[in-house]
Structure 1
């Protein structure tokens, strides 16, 4: 943002996924800003801090930086600042960060802290420390309660666990929107086409993004330049029936014909239908795929009835 607010109410965090817990926190920031007659601000980072500190660390992210920016702006926050996280920034203590970044750079007068958020070198300090530094610097530090669903705290790590076990329905409830992957459609092994189920093989644009557990999923698919969402079925796995070893993400778009190789496709997950299985013959796999398709179509019909 070109024009920095002076003063403002802010929150800070990595905000991976911008889930319902994050939006609960941001709503608190907006409400506090309105009460105080100040602007509201979200401060986040372009890189996962651990990725900067540990070169071999591969984060399992819930969204790309582009998606995070879009989701954060959709909250209606007045100002969004995305800091470039580097080793120099990682060396700042919590107090130095509050002084140099929050106070001097962004004129923060009130800081709303998420229930589990820690920042500063080695993340060794907590809310009481931040509150004490805030008193010294003239920044009021406010603690935000956790947002819960059915008694469970909503967090990025909890959502990752759900996606890792294929519990997409629950993950989507915690996110507040369908979990989505995006990538370029590349050439595959063509087995699906031979079985009457041509698939778009997805090459992820962001290899750090978390891939759901192996299995067959009901999904919606959309070409990047299109506004139309198509129903589909996606298989994530190693193609064990054909002796595969590498994980592939293959989407059969229902009632769709056309060459989309090289195009960007985004796939939103609706529900996991079954685990990946090895079949004795391709014809046995084809019969199962017909059942999967029927089940997925029924699932979408139920969604349409409820909408």
Structure 2
């Protein structure tokens, strides 16, 4: 897949069938839509397949105080899109000038004139343009006038739910990591570096790596204990473990920490990059009346996590 950044690249675009969206998480619904684009291009040899996305969340430009909770960073999103089979990915630089464009001007000046879009397959709930008041029928009419065929893609429905980024965020914010993974088509993950922590886990026989997430805009799942797999820089492969997200109430903590215990792993990994993949939430975070009660529960958590991860 060729990736084109419109603020730095000046590559000419071949005629294409395209879809457009923010594509946060590149979930199964997104991939279903993109497949309709690649299938259409395969049936029309004169057209390439193109995915059009943005370099930042549009609401960040429209509202300076907006703090997105993202399923994927831009780099993660591009890596996921590269696996869809599309010929091109165009990353539009979203700024106030673009935000002020009407839907008609955007379709004419950006989609047709700059990106050579001949056919546009719209996500079932997608809208664009300054006011976002226009709907699908308006886009069809504008397209007819300027020479872009506009068709509507179908929703991807899973267990009666239209899969969307907002639905997945809701699952993760409620701790439903397995439901999020089902909708994403892969386990939700974040990446970060291991930093110094409180070292309480080591004293209990459960040494933990304290993670500082690379991107503050990444969504952190609901507090609790999770069965996870961990990829450690320089170690190769995925390692089983469990992660606690919370304030360490048994130790009267107040700051939220992200601590992962990697099973049967003794290496010093301070400063290394890790990826944490979430499979299942085991329980709420809770305050124990004694250290012994906490340790007993940690052994039960490990046993439950191992059973879940064996099947993953």
Q: TM-score range by the shorter chain?
A: over 0.9
Q: 1:243 aligns with which of 227, 252, 258?
A: 252
Q: 2:31 aligns with which of 23, 37, 41?
A: 23
Cα gap change, 1:182 to 1:34, in 2 (>3 Å): same
CA distance in 2, matches of 1:128, 1:54: 28
CA distance in 1, matches of 2:142, 2:198: 59
Q: 2:44 aligns with which of 28, 33, 36?
A: 36
After TM superposition, the structure 1 = structure 2 runs for residues 284-295 of structure 1, keeping only pairs within 5 Å, are 284-295=293-304
Q: 2:209 aligns with which of 181, 200, 217?
A: 200
**Offset of residue 145 of structure 1:** 1.0
Q: Which residue of 1 aligns with 2:128?
A: 119
Unaligned runs of 5+ in 2: none
CA distance in 1, matches of 2:231, 2:39: 35
Q: 1:154 aligns with which of 157, 163, 183?
A: 163
Q: Per-residue displacement from partner, 1:178-212 (whole Å, max 9, x unpaired)? A: 10010111111111111111111110101111111
Q: Which residue of 1 aligns with 2:187?
A: 178
SS of structure 2 residue aligned to 1:15 = coil
Is 1:142 matched up with 2:148?
no
CA distance in 1, matches of 2:258, 2:72: 17
User: In the alignment, is the contact (CA less than 8 A) between 2:282 and 2:301 conserved in 1?
Assistant: yes
User: In the alignment, is the contact (CA less than 8 A) between 2:13 and 2:114 conserved in 1?
Assistant: no
User: In the alignment, is the contact (CA less than 8 A) between 1:181 and 1:266 conserved in 2?
Assistant: yes
Q: Which residue of 2 aligns with 1:58?
A: 67
Q: Which residue of 2 aligns with 1:103?
A: 112
**Offset of residue 123 of structure 1:** 1.8
**Offset of residue 225 of structure 1:** 4.2
Unaligned runs of 5+ in 1: none
User: In the alignment, is the contact (CA less than 8 A) between 2:18 and 2:49 conserved in 1?
Assistant: yes
Cα RMSD of the aligned pairs, angstroms, is 1.1
Q: Per-residue displacement from partner, 1:108-155 (whole Å, max 9, x unpaired)? A: 000000001011113221111111110111000010110101121000
- Which segment is superposed worse, 100-109 or 223-232? 223-232
Q: Per-residue displacement from partner, 1:143-179 (whole Å, max 9, x unpaired)? A: 0110101121000000010001111111100000010
User: In the alignment, is the contact (CA less than 8 A) between 1:5 and 1:39 conserved in 2?
Assistant: no
Give the structure-2-normalised TM-score.
0.95
User: In the alignment, is the contact (CA less than 8 A) between 1:12 and 1:113 conserved in 2?
Assistant: yes
Q: Which residue of 2 aligns with 1:169?
A: 178
Give the structure-1-normalised TM-score.
0.96
User: In the alignment, is the contact (CA less than 8 A) between 2:228 and 2:309 conserved in 1?
Assistant: no
**Offset of residue 226 of structure 1:** 4.1
**Offset of residue 280 of structure 1:** 0.9
